[in-house]
């Protein structure tokens, strides 16, 4: 039986208190699924939303969260293919029109009428949420629902970003922010795809995690000469053919212009507030480099990213905490102190 009310973490304004409230359980539209959520990852994008430090039309009161897992609790009248009890995930892209040119190209996040979990649609920091059936992710059998939660944003996003580097198996790739939520998954997808991985982050906890996850060379951005150490670890000291930035730091992007290999590709994923990419035109053209942005992933990327987890090639280094600990998680995240990912237990 579905209760009338549920617990949700709500904030009324930017940086406002994170209040646990009893609110109504939503009723699914004909093309929606109602999900009984058990777990939600806490992504740095949720922290950006709480701080409102992006030029994004945030709407309050807001229920954040966009990496949720649980079971189908109800299906809308027109939904086929899902039944009550199915293990499912909720992504950042919560619904799209399915008809525009972006949808047809599989650029789900760019659909002009897309709605986003935790940003423009009540997210996964609550016990029940609605999602368009077309954007509900199926969780493969045998996969742990807490452990898989971070795949629904972090995993999909870095898997897609790695594809967008156009790197080939055997290439050396740099991942900045390699010890954080996205980074710790990027390292594993990169290894599974056959890359040699140089990770940039700071401190023993992140270095140890990086090495445990199979990373090859760790560069500490606080104590190492970044450019020198990266170049020294690339074939013929030519520089890195591919870079994925998940660090929340403009500086990280700037220094990559100096260690990227001529003809190489830099993919921007992290979204530091007010950051600008300064790439002087002359070396940009003469060295023929590419700089591109990458936004989450589409439904097919989701299926593929989850398949790596099912096969045991990628695992999420998580710490599970009660949902009521979200404010502490945000503090630790702001201080750069989280190695891996925190996952909220939505029953606590
Ligand atoms: O679709 C997208 N583009 C997308 C999807 C999901 C998340 C973008 N994001 C964005 C988030 O909004 C955030 O800006 O990616 C960024 C990283 O999210 P996260 O992995 O959830 O954040 P984290 O766990 O806090 O990890 C960030 C890491 O960066 C390191 C920190 O030490 C931390 O481990 N870092 C920092 I801050 N400065 C660094 C630097 N200068 C750095 N690493 C290397 N060099
Ligand atoms: Zn996210």
pLDDT in tens, 226-269: 999 999 999 999 999 999 999 999 999 999 999 999 999 999 99
Which atom of ligand 1 is found nearest the CA of 221? Answer: 45
Q: Which residues pair with 8 in a beta bridge?
A: 21, 126
Q: Domain boundaries in the chain? A: 5-153+297-345, 156-293
Q: Is the CB of 333 under 6 A from ligand 1?
A: yes
Q: Is the CB of 226 under 6 A from ligand 1?
A: no
Cα(142) to ligand 2 centroid in Å equals: 24
Cα(232) to ligand 1 centroid in Å equals: 25
Nearest Cα neighbor of 62 from 49, 53, 71, 72 is: 49
Q: Which CATH number fits domain 5-153+297-345: 3.90.180.10, 3.30.499.10, 1.20.1250.20, 3.40.50.10320?
A: 3.90.180.10
Cα(67) to ligand 1 centroid in Å equals: 16
Least distant ligand from the CA of 246 = 1
- Contact between residue 36 and residue 73 where contact means Cβ atoms under 8 Å apart: yes
pLDDT for residue 59: 85
- Burial of residue 36 (number of CB atoms within 10 Å: 0-12, 13-18, 19+): buried
Cα 241 to Cα 73: distance, rounded to the nearest angstrom: 46
- Contact between residue 175 and residue 183 where contact means Cβ atoms under 8 Å apart: yes
Q: Which residues pair with 167 in a beta bridge?
A: none
Which atom of ligand 1 is found nearest the CA of 269? Answer: 3
Q: Which of 270, 305, 331, 340 to mutate to test the pocket of ligand 1 (most atoms within 8 A of CB)?
A: 270
Which atom of ligand 1 is found nearest the CA of 200? Answer: 44
- Contact between residue 62 and residue 10 where contact means Cβ atoms under 8 Å apart: yes
Q: Is the CB of 164 under 6 A from ligand 1?
A: no
- Domain 156-293 in CATH 3.40.980.10? The answer is no
Reported in sequence order, the residue ranges of the chain that DSSP labels E, i.e. its strands, are 5-10, 19-24, 32-41, 68-75, 87-90, 93-95, 115-116, 128-132, 136-138, 172-176, 196-201, 217-220, 240-245, 260-268, 290-293, 318-322, 341-345
Q: Which of 40, 41, 45, 156 to mutate to test the pocket of ligand 1 (most atoms within 8 A of CB)?
A: 45
The answer to whether the Cα torsion of 212, 215, 218, 220 is positive or negative is negative
Least distant ligand from the CA of 109 = 1
Using DSSP, state whether 291 is helix, strand or coil.
strand
Give 249-283 as a DSSP string: -HHHHHHHHHHEEEEEEEEE----TT------HHH
Cα(81) to ligand 1 centroid in Å equals: 35
Cα(49) to ligand 2 centroid in Å equals: 10
Cα(218) to ligand 2 centroid in Å equals: 24
CB under 8 Å to 337, separation ≥6 — which residues?
A: none
Residue located nearest, by CA, to atom 28 of ligand 1: 177
Q: Is the CB of 248 under 6 A from ligand 1?
A: yes
Residues of the chain with pLDDT under 50: none
Alpha-carbon distances, residue 7 vs 4, 198, 319 (angstroms): 11, 42, 21
Q: Is the CB of 176 under 6 A from ligand 1?
A: yes
Give the chain's end-to-end CA distance (angstroms, integer): 20
Which atom of ligand 1 is found nearest the CA of 45? Answer: 12
Cα 246 to Cα 256: distance, rounded to the nearest angstrom: 12
Nearest Cα neighbor of 138 from 83, 189, 185 is: 83
pLDDT for residue 236: 98
Q: Is the CB of 45 under 6 A from ligand 1?
A: yes
Least distant ligand from the CA of 124 = 2
Residue located nearest, by CA, to atom 30 of ligand 1: 177
- Burial of residue 110 (number of CB atoms within 10 Å: 0-12, 13-18, 19+): middle
Alpha carbon 125 to its chain centroid, in Å, reads 16
């Amino acid at each position: 039986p579905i209760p009338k009310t549920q617990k949700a973490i709500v904030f009324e304004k930017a940086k406002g208190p994170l209040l646990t409230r009893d609110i109504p359980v939503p009723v699914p539209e004909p093309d929606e699924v109602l999900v009984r959520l058990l777990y939600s990852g806490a992504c740095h994008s949720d922290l950006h939303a709480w701080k409102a430090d992006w030029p994004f039309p945030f709407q309050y009161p807001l229920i954040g969260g966009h990496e949720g897992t649980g079971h189908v609790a109800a299906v809308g009248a027109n939904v086929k293919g899902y039944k009550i009890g199915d293990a499912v995930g909720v992504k950042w892209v919560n619904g799209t029109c399915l008809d525009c040119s972006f949808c047809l190209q599989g650029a789900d996040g760019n659909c002009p009428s897309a709605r986003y979990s935790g940003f423009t649609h009540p997210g996964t920091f609550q016990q029940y949420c609605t999602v368009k059936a077309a954007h509900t992710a199926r969780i493969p059998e045998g996969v742990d629902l807490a452990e898989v939660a971070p795949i629904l944003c972090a995993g999909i996003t870095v898997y897609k970003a790695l594809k967008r580097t156009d790197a080939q198996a055997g290439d050396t790739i740099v991942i900045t922010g390699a010890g954080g939520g996205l980074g710790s998954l990027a390292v594993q997808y990169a290894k599974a795809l056959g890359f040699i991985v140089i990770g940039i982050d700071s401190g023993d906890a992140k270095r140890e995690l990086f090495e445990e996850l199979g990373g090859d060379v760790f560069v500490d951005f606080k104590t190492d000469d970044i450019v020198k150490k990266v170049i020294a670890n690339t074939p013929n000291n030519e520089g890195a053919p591919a870079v994925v930035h998940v660090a929340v730091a403009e500086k990280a992007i700037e220094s990559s212009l100096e260690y990227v290999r001529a003809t190489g590709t830099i993919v921007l994923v992290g979204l530091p507030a007010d950051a600008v990419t300064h790439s002087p035109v002359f070396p940009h053209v003469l060295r023929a480099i590419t700089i591109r942005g990458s936004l989450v992933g589409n439904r097919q990327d989701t299926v593929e990213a989850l398949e790596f987890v099912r096969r045991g090639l990628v695992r999420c280094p998580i710490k599970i905490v009660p949902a009521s600990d979200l404010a502490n998680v945000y503090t630790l995240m702001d201080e750069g102190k989280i190695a891996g990912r925190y996952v909220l237990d939505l029953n606590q």
